[in-house]
Amino acid sequence: MAVSLQRGLVLRLITTIVVLFLLDAVACYYTAMHFSNVVYDRWLVDSARSLTTALKVDNNRISLDLPHVARDIFQFDEIDKTYFRVSSGTVLIAGDTRLPQASGTVNEQEHFLDTDIDRIPVRLVAVKISRSLLPAPVLIEVAETLNKRLRLRREIVLAMVAPQLTLIATAIAAAWLGISLGLKPLTTLAEQLEARGHDNLSPVPEQGLPREARVLVSKMNGLFSRLEHSMAMQRRFIADAAHQLRTPLAAVLLHAERAEQARSALDREEGGNALRSLHSAAQRATRVSHQLLSLARAEPDAIRDEDFKPTDLVALARRIGEEWIPHALVQNSDFGLAVPSHPVIVPVHAGLLTECISNLIDNALRYAGPHSCITLSVSDLPVPTIAVEDNGPGVPLQERARIFERFYRLPSSNVSGCGLGLSIVSEIAKTHRAKVRVEDASTGRGARFVIAFA
């Protein structure tokens, strides 16, 4: 199977879900970050403000009265490390000098900053305190490492993502199962088709199939029936063809045996006769094989539209006729060409039409016999036509409808043939959407075959 419908559907579904999930995870992370900051920033501000209670003013000098125990409590945390600094203007009152300077103007509001101390990322809050008791505004800065925040974020993200992952897995499994159940009729169908013999072209039952599959199956059944029909035609044709070839070949065998025996018995005349019969039987087999090939070439499947090209019927007829001149001369027939002096252009398949006209000329030469008069003509009034006329025995009215059938032969005829020539003519005319007809020759005696292009 080149493309799995099921895999394709599930893959598309998974892709969509995964993309959505990733977007959701990003959103989730930022939400977690926001809330962890809201919570811990509050604490940080509280810590900063709690330091203001330890501010003392003595002779206009501000100091921080923070006992060691209190300082330890302030800075103690199992998880995070806390730094602080209290300053007024450029004067450091207490705390850590490693804290980075908060940039910009700091007012009564809390000012937050993400920065780092000794390359460890911290969250810093700066609060400016100005009270009537204080001789100058005091800047309190408190910074804290991020461990607690990160942990909280991780926990929030995990809490949100884990159920989602489960949900996704369930959805994919459900989709896989659902699709495979939905496609079940198709796989059953495939198994049925695979189990068939190579020549079983009977229709596939349509009941029990979902509507979508039924359309496919009904089209397939249509194709099967057409295939069945064309295969039956093909089989019949091959059987007929083998039969047609078998007859002249049987004659070849018999005459060859006769000739061999005659030679050993020194019967010259008998031998000569046998060889002549052998020759004509071989000629017949040759002709049949050639015609069978032509017939195969005239099959609609073997013809491509681009092989049809605008062609001058006058030039084509002249070329085909010239090929037949030696044959006409051998039997002393008067073979002529009658064409207008201007070209007659029609889109044709030159190879096939050559075959078609050749068959008509061949027939005329054979049926009209030695010393006959045969004319190949082209005309363009009222429609472009090519015609072959002879002065032979002609075709009786009641036979005219049947002579174009495959393997049909005139009952009265004693000319050897296999009844394929005219069916080739008719098939080729059909591929050109041309009409072929037989009528009395213009002189009254003989046949005239006309191919009229419409």
Residues that bind other proteins (CB under 8 A): 282-283, 286, 289-290, 293, 297, 318, 321-322, 325-326, 329, 334-339, 350-351, 354, 375-376
In terms of CB distance, is 375 or 391 closer to other proteins?
Answer: 375
Q: Of 191, 185, 243, 195, which is closest to residue 216 (Cα–Cα)? A: 185
Total length of the chain: 454
Instruction: Report helix, strand or coil for 125.
Output: strand
Rounded to 5 degrees, what angle do the CA atoms 337, 437, 418 make?
90
What's the rounded Cα separation, in Å, for the pair 220 and 232?
18
Residue 149: both structure tokens together: 């925040």
DSSP string spanning 148-210? Answer: HHHHHHHHHHHHHHHHHHHHHHHHHHHHHHHHHHHTHHHHHHHHHHHHS-TT--PPPP-TT--
Output the smallest distance, CB 361 to other proteins, in A. 13
Output the smallest distance, CB 299 to other proteins, in A. 13
Task: Judge whether 452 and 434 are in contact, CB under 8 Å.
Answer: yes
Q: Are strands 55-58 and 61-64 parallel, antiparallel or unpaired?
A: antiparallel
Residue 122: both structure tokens together: 């911290």
In terms of CB distance, is 72 or 334 closer to other proteins?
Answer: 334
Residue 270: both structure tokens together: 């008998």
What's the rounded Cα separation, in Å, for the pair 391 and 347?
30
In terms of CB distance, is 144 or 427 closer to other proteins?
Answer: 427
In terms of CB distance, is 234 or 283 closer to other proteins?
Answer: 283
Residue 441: both structure tokens together: 């020759």
Q: Note the Cα 398 to chain centre separation in Å.
A: 53
Output the smallest distance, CB 338 to other proteins, in A. 5
In terms of CB distance, is 300 or 326 closer to other proteins?
Answer: 326
In terms of CB distance, is 70 or 329 closer to other proteins?
Answer: 329
* HEC readout, 19-31: HHHHHHHHHHHHH
In terms of CB distance, is 213 or 350 closer to other proteins?
Answer: 350
Q: Note the Cα 178 to chain centre separation in Å.
A: 27
Instruction: Report helix, strand or coil for 243.
Output: helix
In terms of CB distance, is 44 or 288 closer to other proteins?
Answer: 288
Output the smallest distance, CB 283 to other proteins, in A. 8
Q: Of 270, 244, 268, which is closest to residue 255 (Cα–Cα)? A: 270
Output the smallest distance, CB 195 to other proteins, in A. 40
In terms of CB distance, is 55 or 388 closer to other proteins?
Answer: 388
Residues in contact with 174: Cβ distance below 8 Å, sequence separation at least 6, in sequence order:
none
In terms of CB distance, is 36 or 379 closer to other proteins?
Answer: 379
State the amino acid at position 207 in one-letter form: Q
Give me the residue label for tokens 């052998």. Answer: 278
Output the smallest distance, CB 297 to other proteins, in A. 7
Residue 413: both structure tokens together: 């005829």
